[in-house]
A and B are shown apart, each in its own frame.
Chain A
Amino acid sequence: MNGKLVVSSSPHIRTIQSVQSVMLDVLIALGPVVAVAIFLFGYQALITMTVAVAAAMLTEALWLRRLNIFGDGSAAVTGLLLAMTLPPNVPWWIPAIGSVTAIIIGKQVYGGIGNNIFNPALVGRAVLVTSWGTHLVGPIWPVPKPFHFFADISAVTSATPLASEAEALNTALSQLLIGNVAGALGETSALALLLGGFWLLYKGHIDWRIPGGFIGTVWLMGALFGGGFYGNNVTTGFFHVLAGGVLLGALFMATDMVTSPVMPWGKLIFGVGCGLITMLIRLFGAHPEGVTFAILTMNALTPLLDKFTIPRKFGEVKQVA
């Protein structure tokens, strides 16, 4: 034996998982979505994602005066998630500004990882939508050109299927599953998103209650109040689940650990709340999509949900009134 014995409080063994390994798993989970985005939208998608990720990592490294640019990997996740919410062909400065905003306003001013109230990527997106709306809202979404990496996808644009009933009826559910529809980078392919989501569930990084509550509520509201325009009530519910940002939001945004509740019941209420607000905006609001603001609203309620869902301790005796 060489040198002194280390003394510390038990336990003396630790899981091999770290914050960095969790973040790497999230990046792996986004792999299929990234691949599909490049397949559908070509080089412009690649540029948008690269700029967003690089800007996020650089901003965080500069802010923390840290030489290790990748760090714990959380900035890369934020940057990539922000890119996922953008049209593939936006000018390069949009993801750049979005990422800088996400990291500084959305995360670091609160004290960095673990301390932010709102999902940083969605803070970035919210600022972009309100400041440069013409690039992000309306019939600006490029139609995918699979197999054409160097194609100029900006030539043909349209509205998303959520814009109107006419647009919706132009899009079959199978198309939504595969992702061959106009929309944001990471929103189009439900299959790729589900694949990543199941990986995260399998690894235990997300809890089923948030995506379950979110997606279930969207389906239920779509079926009950969607008017059944899309075939029948059941398929209308599925349309609302598969179109737009619900899957990306439910599997990757709402499940952000830092900004969602800690307790099981809190997670379920959080998910249901996200679904409820999303559908209220979609069905009765002024915008075709409401995932961003639904999640941000529920982020704000997270401390309250944590407060009211402290679990009953083991062996707690029921109080007799």
Chain B
Amino acid sequence: MNIGRAIFKGGVHPEYRKELTASLAVTTPPVPQKVVIPLQQHIGAPCEPLVEVGDLVKTGQKIGQSESFVSAPVHASISGQVTAIGLYNHPLGRKITAITIEGDGQDEWDEQANSVENPDDRSPEELRKLIREAGIVGMGGATFPAHVKLSPPDGKMIDTVIINGAECEPYLTADHRLMLEKPEEIIFGLEVIMKVLGAGRGIVGIEDNKPDAIRVMKQVAEGKPGISIVPLETKYPQGAEKMLIQVTTRRRVPSGGLPLDVGVVNHNTGTAVAIADAIQKGKPLIERVVTVTGEGVRRPANLMVRVGTLVNELLDFCGGLKEETRKLVIGGPMMGLAQPTTDLPVIKGTSGLVALTVEDVELSESGSCIRCARCVEACPINLVPTFIAQAAEHEYFSRAEKLHVTDCIECGCCAYVCPARIPLTQWIRIAKAEVLARRKG
């Protein structure tokens, strides 16, 4: 059945290690005693606080927003009292202003108005506004505000919406569990997005290492007009936007362009569920599924976690970290960010906490490039990573630009395959940042 299916060039096959959590149903830990809600959990303008220290807040109450179009409001994820507004550790690696709430143990919800059963009951404009007000961002990790993707510029026709259920990062199983446990919500979210964009076709792409998810999603999508479930080859980075669009629609996003240039909008499965919750229940984005996993975690789990829950509390709930833990990654091990501390909050884009042990964390030095060309074969964007890295090393940024460094999607395949252990992706990031900064002048 998979014969003739489209594939993309390059990519790698890391050890997936999803068996640690793939069969574990999502469980909900107790409501946290304290949450820290950063005012920026998205790409775009940071929010301004709507509360002051001492204020009482309810679960789901909006506590920060921005007038800027590219932004997403934040909400209290527990009920209680605001005890601090100030800089706090953030998964992006710097301190960002955050609102600390001490819980009252009641988890008393703000009133919720919506009960939409059918997206056709509301106009696209109303739906878009509800999605914005719910603070929904791309939950795969990119955290781009969802309503912005739902507002294509004039003249851009969107005919296809793709829900990314590939979950190609090793270890992570949050999307997998959502597809098994909340398939109706995913399809409802997809229908909302299609309605808002006026798109006739909806696709859910799922890697074929999740046959149970493919089966369940197919059952739910049965008979829904325009919606199809597409099994994908299991290969990293299958879930990367450009790859996913290429294999499901055979369209290629032009270099430097966006998916909407080829009439496509991508959303993550978690985002689709959040949209369904916002439209059906009036529930803002205050919780998400986080996969807490890795050989360094005593009891790996898929957890429904309130946004703002502190990572160290979450880890404690999972039995804590083992002695041999050396690295804590937020997100997947291919593109996630290693953290220097566990004193930081879960945010809307936190798909996983992966604790890697001594065996996984290599501290060996990098050697000379032996020109084996594995990075060239692995690059899904057709770049020549080793040449770009050399240019970056010599601060020869004009050459890096000629080698199309700005097209790099930072998937990490090149550094993953390098037998000489050269941090190719890191060099390329340095060159990319420098080239982009120079363009801005």
Interface pick from A17-25, A132-140, A273-281: A17-25
> Considering only CB atoms and an 8 Å cut-off, how many residues of chain A contact the other chain?
45
Closest to B338 in A: A7
A263/B376 contact (C-beta < 8 A), A5-B328, A10-B333 known: yes
User: Is the CB–CB distance between A18 and B338 below 8 Å?
Assistant: no
List residues of A (1-30) whose CB comes within 8 Å of B's CBs.
Answer: 1-2, 4-15, 17-19, 21-22
Q: Which of A52-85 contact B (CB under 8 A)?
A: 72, 74
For the complex, what is the distance from the CA of A141 to the CA of B320, rounded to whole Å?
70
Q: Judging by beta carbons under 8 Å apart, are A316 and B255 in contact?
A: yes
Q: Which residue of B lies closest to A112 (CB)?
A: B368
Known A112-B368, A114-B370; contact A315-B335, beta-carbon cutoff 8 A: no
Contact check, A13 vs B360: say whether CB atoms are below 8 A apart.
yes
Report the Cα distance A176→B1, complex, angstroms. 46
Of the candidates B320, B356, B384, the one whose C-beta lies within 8 Å of that of A262 is: B384
B323-361 toward A: CB 8 Å interface, digit per residue (1/0)?
111111100011111111110000000000010100011
- For residues 232 through 272 of chain B, which have their beta carbon under 8 Å from a beta carbon of chain A? 242, 252-255, 257
A1 to B407, CA, bound (A): 39
- Interface digits, A265-301 against B, CB 8 Å rule (1 contact, 0 not)? 0010000000000000000000000000000000000
Whether a CB of chain A sits under 8 angstroms from the CB of B65 is no
Residues of B with C-beta under 8 A to A72: 367
Does the CB pair B368–A114 fall under 8 Å?
yes
- Tell whether, in the assembled complex, residue A22 and residue B372 are in contact, meaning their CB atoms are under 8 Å apart: yes
- Determine chain B's interface SS by DSSP, over half rule: loop
| Inter-subunit contact B425/A9 (CB<8 Å) | yes
Q: Is A47 part of the binding interface, using a Cβ–Cβ cutoff of 8 Å?
A: no
Which stretch, B47-55, B115-123, B173-181, B409-417, touches the partner chain A?
Answer: B409-417
CB < 8 Å neighbour of A115 from B325, B368, B429: B368
Count contacts on B: residues with CB < 8 A to the other chain: 70
Q: Cα distance A264–B257 when bound, in Å?
A: 26
- Complex contact B376–A15 (CB within 8 A): no
Is B222 positioned at the interface, with any CB of A under 8 Å from its CB? no
Contact A13 B380 (CB under 8 A): no
Q: What secondary structure prevails in chain A residues at the interface with B?
A: loop
Question: B369 near A: Cβ within 8 Å?
Answer: yes
- Chain A residues with CB under 8 Å of B421's CB are 14, 18
Question: A205 to B336, alpha carbons, bound, how many Å?
Answer: 29
CB nearest neighbor in B for A21: B419
Q: What is the minimal beta-carbon distance from A87 to any residue of chain B, in angstroms?
A: 30
Q: Does A14 contact B367, Cβ atoms closer than 8 Å?
A: no
The answer to whether A10 touches B338, judged by C-beta atoms less than 8 angstroms apart, is yes
* Alpha-carbon gap, A289 to B170, bound state (A): 51
**Which residues of chain B are within 8 angstroms of A263 by Cβ–Cβ distance?**
373, 376, 384
A9 to B429, CA, bound (A): 9
5 closest Cβ pairs, A-B complex: A11-B412, A114-B368, A9-B426, A1-B321, A314-B381
Q: Can you add 13 more A-B contacts, CB < 8 Å, to A10-B410, A14-B415?
A: A1-B320, A7-B327, A7-B339, A10-B336, A22-B419, A114-B367, A114-B370, A114-B420, A311-B383, A313-B382, A314-B242, A315-B252, A316-B255
